[in-house]
Amino acid sequence: MDPLLAEYLRAIILGVVQSATEFLPVSSSGHLVLVPRLLGEETSALAFDVGLHLGSLSAILGYFWRDWWQIGRAGVADIARHGTAVGRWTPHAQLGLWIAAGTVPAVVVALLFGGFAEEHLRQPVPVAITLIVFSFVIDFGDRRPGASKAVESMGVRRALFIGAAQALALMPGVSRSGITIAAARSLGFERPSAARFSFLLSAPVILGAGVLTLGDAMRGDEALAWGPLLAGAVAAAIVGALVIKALLAYLQRRTLRVFVWYRIALGLVVLGAVAAGIL
């Protein structure tokens, strides 16, 4: 195959994998450790990572554009009108505050332990173990009976708790969406509301990761291949928006159990492949 065509094809495949697994509770970082190996690469290149983050962020901003517009407009108006009297803010302005609060734990953990996770945990065996172990954590949190809270009842403490759960997704194999949905469910939030907050909460973290990765790529020796990068970003954006829509509809009536079984099965397959010398 022509090398340039292969580069575009690889970018599109990784873009599809990134967005599908970013928003489904199956761990995008875990899949992006495994899939490039199957494509003949040890890890995803920095240039591809930039495009994948750009695409996932575009999916969140595009699908929830009304929410972001209302959060921004209400936030500016309520700060001007009520200052720091958060209790008098409108629901969308408060939601912006909950997202900001929930982002803090992930930022702190990434600054303290990001290098360790990147160096020691992006390997098939740790990913497989994490996929399996956190399957039970996600299943336990999702099974909260009688959960009916909506996003508007979030509050700072609940947002910080969900944000702390999001910080665990620094480990490949955890799943940012899975652990945050499960954390919100354990606090009594209904599944669609838990998923909606999970997706909104992921935007600042994905943006930050994309900016840091772009900085690493520009400081390094690797040339940015803008064509494949944009191809991967477009694929990630399109697939991401479709997956968000599908999962929100799915969670109106169903649990996360099918994803739990998928994670366990994938983890066992990876461990088997490592034992057989395939990975």
Q: Residue type for 48, please?
A: F
Average pLDDT over residues 70-79: 95
Distance between CA 195 and CA 126 in Å, rounded?
A: 26
For 11, 75, 197, the CA distances from 69, given in Å and listed in that order, are: 31, 10, 16
Percent of the chain exceeding pLDDT 70 equals: 90
Residue 260 has pLDDT above 90, yes or no: yes
pLDDT in tens, 120-172: 777 889 989 999 999 999 999 998 876 677 787 888 999 999 999 999 998 88
Which range scores top for mean pLDDT: 15-24, 66-75, 117-126, 144-153?
66-75
Distance between CA 143 and CA 185 in Å, rounded?
A: 8
Residue pointed to by tokens 């997956």: 243
Distance between CA 184 and CA 194 in Å, rounded?
A: 5
Give me the count of residues in the chain.
Answer: 279
SS3 of 169-199: the string is: CCCCCCCHHHHHHHHHHHCCECHHHHHHHHH
Average pLDDT over residues 215-219: 69
Comparing CA positions, the residue from 193, 199, 171, 177 lying closest to residue 251 is 193
* This model's pTM is above 0.85: yes
CA angle at residue 270 from 264 to 276, to 5 degrees? 140
pLDDT in tens, 224-246: 667 888 888 899 999 999 999 99
